[in-house]
């Protein structure tokens, strides 16, 4: 989906553990969060956690996404109805 959007002229931004990954390398901007996944190189961990595999990253991602979206919504004077009208328009 990121490749499709970029080909259509969109700037890519991502939230990731590894900004050097495929989507991270396409991104104009990224937010790097701590976390662990099975795909981290050489078994290195971003942070120690008692949570299984990617749970910490997933939880931090949801909070980050909501915060970014609410901040942008408020700064641009939009409403939740404005956001709903554009939801999932690339599919």
**H helices within the chain, ranges in order?**
2-7, 22-26, 55-75, 80-86
Q: How far is 30 from 28, CA to CA, in rounded Å?
A: 7
Three-state DSSP state, 49? coil
Active-site residue set: 58
Q: How far is 85 from 82, CA to CA, in rounded Å?
A: 5
Q: How far is 20 from 24, CA to CA, in rounded Å?
A: 5
């Amino acid at each position: 989906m990121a490749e499709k959007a970029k080909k259509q002229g969109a700037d890519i931004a991502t939230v990731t553990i590894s900004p050097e990954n495929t989507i991270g390398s396409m991104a104009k901007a990224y937010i790097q969060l701590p976390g662990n996944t099975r795909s981290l190189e050489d078994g290195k961990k971003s942070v120690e956690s008692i949570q299984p595999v990617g749970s910490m990253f997933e939880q931090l991602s949801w909070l980050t996404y909501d915060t970014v979206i609410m901040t942008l919504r408020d700064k641009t004077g939009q409403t939740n109805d404005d956001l709903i009208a554009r939801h999932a328009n690339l599919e």
